[in-house]
Structure 1
Amino acid sequence: MTNIQIRKYRDDDAEAVKEIFTLGMSEHVPSSFTHMLKQPPTQMLLMCTFCALMASSKSFLLPILAITLLLAGMRQVVVYMFNKYIDTTLRKDLDRISEAYLQQKDSCFWVAEIDGRVVGTVSCTTNEKAPACLELKRMAVRRSYRGMGIAKVLCRTVADFTRDRGYAAVVLYTSVVQTDAQKLYEHMGYQKIREFVVPELLAKVMNFTLFEYRLDLQRDGKRD
């Protein structure tokens, strides 16, 4: 079995952590674009554009060209949305992890290391909307190291940290396109308790839904 070491973040981990987060989030662009195409407003726009141009030009070339350009533009919208989220997250906490997590009460940031290489990350911090809980954040594992149980170990690290500090539960948020993450959390005992659309215009247009999950540590403890 691969020797996975979980340890607290050090300042020399900064570039590896940001790389793992950025690459991990960028992976969701294709699935988010597909999700966007499945939405009725998107399909209506494409169909109306095609039919209108077909009726006015009486040629397949112009409608097909227009739809191709429209699809390319929609994909760029998705790319823009994810790049904006990545930039915001870097500025918010990943550019200053020690200050944001290690110097704050009931917060921490860990990395998973294999053979001296940082291959995964996770953090834990307080949640203003759920003061009895801590929030799991920044879970990510390098693509080539997935399927080795790293994410499960990181999840348990957060649960143990939360339990040791006397909190009742762990909460987290994940998106509709992060299906592998949803399966992982549900396997680890998390229950989906709420879903909502991100309150931004682009997200509303895409019907980009977030799911809130909760792991009750008392139930978890009894199950173990």
Structure 2
Amino acid sequence: MATIQIRKYQADDDEAVKEIFTLGMSEHVPSSFVHLLKQPPTQMILMCTFCALMASSKSILLPVLAVTLLLAGARQFVVYIFNKYIDTSLKLDLNDITGTYLQQKDTCFWVAEYDGRVVGTVACLPNENAPGCLELKRASVRRSHRRMGIAQALCQTVADFTRERGFAAVILYTSVVQTDAQKLYERMGYEKIREFLLPELFAKVMNFTLIEYRLDLQRDRKED
């Protein structure tokens, strides 16, 4: 039976890592679209458009068509936002994983290998806003290999790395739509520190909240 191996990133993993990241981020489009539809301003716009056209045209076809086009436009807006984030990430840290995560102090990038195939990723580096803490980043697992404990093993690898280097805690950020990730982090002992909106206009329009989690390793050491 194949086993899961967590190892450091190698240059040959580059294509697989970028594929896992891209597919993983793209999976959040449907849930983000639903999140957008649940927002009161979105519902108000759709309702007002439907009612106004219904009253003026005296026909059901035009308002239905208009609302359908608005929904299609809203979904394309969400797709655009995620594609822009993916493209930016691929041009920044994921464009030079070795230089960003393997040649800098207190940083690392790991992959999870299953049956000779890279199926998961995770990384860490010092958190800019919390001195003495490392930040968990780029955690993702192929859909076909979830529910196998790979994500938890990757996150534990970061926690062990952080503890070995004497840092106080692991910090990470996830979004309001990533409910499975939130459940995993909370099972592993992460505590929700705060929720906040990104300063970008799209985040305000979508009410797209980010959540900051913290795993306090000093507390774990005292309990041990």
Q: Answer yes or no: same fold by TM over 0.5.
A: yes
Q: Aligned-pair distance for 1:175?
A: 0.1
Counterpart of 1:160 in structure 2 is 160
SS of 1:101's equivalent in the other structure is: helix
Structure 1 position 60 matched with structure 2 position 60: yes
Any stretches of 5+ residues in structure 1 without a counterpart?
Answer: none
Q: Aligned-pair distance for 1:96?
A: 0.7
Q: Aligned-pair distance for 1:2?
A: 4.6
Counterpart of 1:81 in structure 2 is 81
Counterpart of 1:179 in structure 2 is 179
2:216 aligned partner, one-letter code: D
Partner Cα separation in structure 2 for residue 12 and residue 218 of structure 1: 36
Counterpart of 1:214 in structure 2 is 214
Contact 1:190–1:215 (8 Å) recurs in 2: yes
SS of 1:167's equivalent in the other structure is: coil
Q: Aligned-pair distance for 1:80?
A: 0.3
Contact 1:20–1:141 (8 Å) recurs in 2: yes
Q: Deviations over 1:99-126 (max 9, x none)?
A: 1110110000000001110000000001
Q: Aligned-pair distance for 1:55?
A: 1.0
Task: Give me the TM-score of the superposition, normalised by structure 1.
Answer: 0.98
Q: Aligned-pair distance for 1:128?
A: 1.1
Counterpart of 1:23 in structure 2 is 23
2:183 aligned partner, one-letter code: K
Q: Aligned-pair distance for 1:132?
A: 1.3
Task: Give me the TM-score of the superposition, normalised by structure 2.
Answer: 0.98
Q: Which 4+ residue blocks in structure 1 deviate beyond 6 angstroms?
A: none
Counterpart of 1:6 in structure 2 is 6
Identity of aligned residues (%): 79
Counterpart of 2:108 in structure 1 is 108
Please report the RMSD computed on the Cα atoms of aligned residues, expressed in angstroms. Answer: 1.0
Partner Cα separation in structure 2 for residue 64 and residue 88 of structure 1: 36
Q: Aligned-pair distance for 1:223?
A: 4.6
Counterpart of 1:204 in structure 2 is 204
Any stretches of 5+ residues in structure 2 without a counterpart?
Answer: none
Contact 1:124–1:158 (8 Å) recurs in 2: yes
Counterpart of 2:39 in structure 1 is 39
Counterpart of 1:93 in structure 2 is 93
SS of 2:92's equivalent in the other structure is: helix
Superposition pairs for residues 135-146 of structure 1, below 5 Å?
135-146=135-146
2:212 aligned partner, one-letter code: E
Partner Cα separation in structure 2 for residue 60 and residue 183 of structure 1: 43
